[in-house]
Structure 1
Amino acid sequence: MQTIDRWLEDYEIGETRDCGSRTITEADIVLHAGQTGDFFPHHMDAHWCATQPIGQRIAHGTLIMSVAVGMTAADINPQSMSYGYDRIRFTAPVFIGDTISVTATITEKVDHPRRPETHGVMHELVTVTNHRGETVLVLTHLYLVNRRGA
C-alpha cells in the first residue's frame, strides 16, 4: 500500500481498475456471523440448506460487500474518503469455495452539495463476479474528494 495524492480533477470518467480476487471460505462466513450476530440457517446450517432449492450454504451479502470494498482499498489517498454506498444489489449467491473478483470504474463526478468550491463527490461502480463469470454484487461507492487548490 502506498500513499498517493489524487484530487477530484485527477480522476477520469471510465477509469477502471482490477482489484484482484479472493476465495470465500467457511471461516469467513463463521467469523462474519459471529461479528454481526447473523446466524441465519442460510449461512450456518448445511443440513437445512441441503433441503432448500439453493442446496448449500451461502455467504452473507454483507460479508461479500465488506470483502469487496476492502479489496478496492489499494492506496491511501489523503485527498479522498469514503462518503457512503448507493444502489447495493446482491445479484447472485456466493458459496463456500467461490473465488470473487472485483473491478471498480469511475462513473460520475459531481459537486458537493454544500461545499462545491472545495469538494466533489466521485461515484465508483464496484462489480463483483465469481469464478464462473456471474455478477454477484454491484454497488456504487461514493467518495468525498478534495478539489486541487481549494
Structure 2
Amino acid sequence: MFIKKYFEQFSTDEVRETKGRTITETDIVIHAGQSGDFFPHHMDEEWCKTQPFKKRIAHGTLIFTVAIGLTAELVNEVSMTYGYDRLRFLAPVFIGDTLHVEVSIKEMKDHKKPGFGLVTELVQAFNQSGQLVMVCDHILLVHKKEA
C-alpha cells in the first residue's frame, strides 16, 4: 500500500509490530549462494555439533534482510532509506525460529537540506520466545510538508 507520511506527521511515541516470519533451511541455502558466505556455522550440521550452539545458525545478514523486509509493509512516497546505524546481532537464530519486528520512532531532527528531516527508527527483531536477536537504527530521509 502507498501512503504519504511527511516528517511532521511522525511522533516519537509511535510503535508498530510486524507479522512473523519463520527462518527455513532454504532461506539459509539461498542466502549463502547469493552472498558467497558458506561458512560452516551456516552450512555444516556435523561441524556445528562440535560448536557451542550445537546446530547451524542463520547468517546475520540474512536476519537483517528478513527483519527489514518485515517492516516494509507500506511504501511511504515521501521518504527513503538514508542508512542504518548500530547494527547488532544479540542472539543466534536457528532454522525454525520465527521472527517478528518492533519498530519505534527513536529520534527526529532537521536535515541540512531544506525541506527534509531525518527520522530514526529503532528496529528490534525478536524470536518466538521474545528474545531480542537483532537491533539497529534505520534512518529515513523524509520530506517536510509544504507550507
TM-score (norm 1): 0.96
Stretches of structure 2 that go unaligned for 5 or more consecutive residues are none
Please give the per-residue CA displacement for 1:120-150, whole angstroms capped at 9, x wherever unaligned.
1100000001011110000000000000007
Please give the per-residue CA displacement for 1:10-53, whole angstroms capped at 9, x wherever unaligned.
00102001111110000000000000000000000000000111
Other-structure match for 1:147: 144
Amino acid in the other structure paired with 1:123? T
- Does residue 109 of the first structure (1) align with residue 108 of the second (2)? yes
Other-structure match for 1:16: 15
Please give the per-residue CA displacement for 1:83-113, whole angstroms capped at 9, x wherever unaligned.
110000000000000011111001110111x
State the Cα RMSD in Å. Answer: 0.8
Calculate percent identity across the aligned residue pairs: 53
Other-structure match for 2:26: 27
| Aligned counterpart in structure 2 of residue 119 of structure 1, from 99, 116, 119 | 116
Which ranges of 4 or more aligned residues in structure 1 deviate by more than 4 Å?
none
TM-score (norm 2): 0.98
- Does residue 38 of the first structure (1) align with residue 10 of the second (2)? no
Other-structure match for 2:63: 64
- What is the rounded CA distance, in whole Å, between the counterparts of 1:80 and 1:122 in structure 2? 9
Stretches of structure 1 that go unaligned for 5 or more consecutive residues are none
